[in-house]
């Protein structure tokens, strides 16, 4: 309920939802890379599967030769041959 109010308020005030609702933002660049903003840490890492914690769920990036080229407390860039990006709550 509170989340619904916050979402409606953000829409009315035209605020960016990812910032106002503390949501992750995922940008996929073809099959070359994925940018994940506002993450909560690395859950699993392997060359064909990376699981990243976000907000109330997690994001799974599956592919081949996956590497995390850059990471800090807020953002993470995954490079490699991306096959699927899945979000689960």
DSSP H or E segment with residue 17:
helix 17-20
The SS3 call for residue 10 is: helix
User: Based on CB atoms, which residue is closest to other proteins, 21 or 43?
Assistant: 43
User: Based on CB atoms, which residue is closest to other proteins, 46 or 84?
Assistant: 46
Q: Is 64 in the site for other proteins (CB under 8 A)?
A: no
Subset of 13-32 contacting other proteins (CB under 8 A): none
Closest CA to 60 of 34, 37, 23: 34
Of the residues 21, 35, 62, 68, which one makes contact with other proteins according to CB under 8 A: 68
Q: Which phi and psi (to 5°) does residue 13 adopt?
A: -85, 0
Contact residues for other proteins, defined by CB under 8 A:
41-47, 67-73
């Amino acid at each position: 309920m509170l989340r619904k109010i916050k979402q409606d308020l953000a829409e009315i005030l035209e605020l960016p939802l990812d910032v106002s609702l503390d949501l992750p933002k995922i940008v996929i660049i073809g099959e070359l890379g994925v940018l994940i903003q506002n993450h909560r840490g690395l859950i699993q890492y392997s060359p064909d599967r990376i699981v990243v914690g976000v907000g109330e769920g997690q994001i799974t990036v599956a592919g081949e030769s996956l590497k995390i080229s850059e990471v800090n407390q807020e953002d993470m860039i995954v490079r490699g041959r991306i096959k699927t990006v899945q979000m689960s709550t």
